[in-house]
Amino acid sequence: MGWRGRVARRVSLRARELTEAPRPAGRPIKPPLLLFHGWNGSSHNFGAWLPALQPHFTVVAPDLPGCAGVTTLPTPHTARAYAEWALRLVDAQQIDRAVVGGLCSGTAIALAFAALAPDRVRGLLLHTPFLRPGLIRPAIRAQLALLSSPLGVLFAPLRRSTTLSMLHRRLFAEAAEVDAEHLAHDQADLLRADPAAARDLGRDLLRIDRTEVVRAWTKPLAVVLADGDAFIDAPATAAAVRLAAPQALIARFPGGHGWTPAYRKHQDEALAGLAERLAELV
């Protein structure tokens, strides 16, 4: 059994907000699903996912170091460093094996975790996977390159300007299609994120090709992609995943990276279908 003990544990959204509830008699323990949020984000990113995932998994969604006010790591914030931190987290929570997933740059951390400790991973769930630098949209690659350069220090004051941040989102991240509540929370996350940690991860995304991790992966793999995503080339990413891992379950849906009602409806349907199939396989 992947989860030790007789108690089903669920982390609401922050790892430190652990709650426990006795498992009803005769009901199997749902496999744990460890999720990594995206760049400069927080566990709030997964709030819309929970209705699709919780019928099948016990969701563990921590806020990452350097994000949401969480203390930074003592080392550069690479995907590998985050994976090492996450391994200590699951050890502390007594999770033997889990399904591991992520959103956007969080998928790089999920893949790093799978490479670091493959025996601890039952399967992978990747939403908008950052598979290799060449699949990141040119405009986003340019931004990450600028962020990683000496000029990247200007990011710290820039992020404090709501007007400039909104302009950036409208130009590069479909902010015009995102509802006001999500935009407000995204801005709050941005203000609480550590700029140096963001630069570390941005540099890592431009440097590492994770295709070999996917190619070597023989366990269940589920991928969710929005065809019009502003951050990665979704059709090319889907093709790359199919080539590297023929066993992958891939769900694509219309829309982009924005959190609109229509986007969430398509996403929920894709996630619900994949979660059910993935839970059967792990």
The alpha-helical segments, DSSP class H, found in 4-78 are 50-53
Section 27-38 average pLDDT: 87
Beta strands in the chain, from DSSP E residues, in sequence order: 7-11, 18-22, 32-36, 58-60, 98-103, 121-127, 221-226, 249-253
Contacts of 123 (CB under 8 A, 6+ apart): 99, 100, 219, 220, 221, 222, 278, 281, 282
Domain ranges of the chain: 7-281
pLDDT digit string, tens, across residues 209-267: 999 999 999 999 999 999 988 899 999 999 999 999 999 999 999 887 656 777 888 88
Instruction: Evaluate if residue 197 carries a pLDDT over 90.
Output: yes
Q: What is the pLDDT of residues 137-184, one digit of tens each?
A: 998 899 889 888 877 666 666 656 555 555 455 544 554 555 666 666
> What is the average pLDDT across 88-96?
95
- Does 112 have pLDDT greater than 80? yes
The CATH code that applies to domain 7-281 is 3.40.50.1820
Question: Which of 140, 133, 134 has its CA nearest to residue 231?
Answer: 140
For residues 281 and 189, the model is more confident at 281
Q: What is the pLDDT of residue 159?
A: 59
The pTM assigned to this predicted structure is 0.85
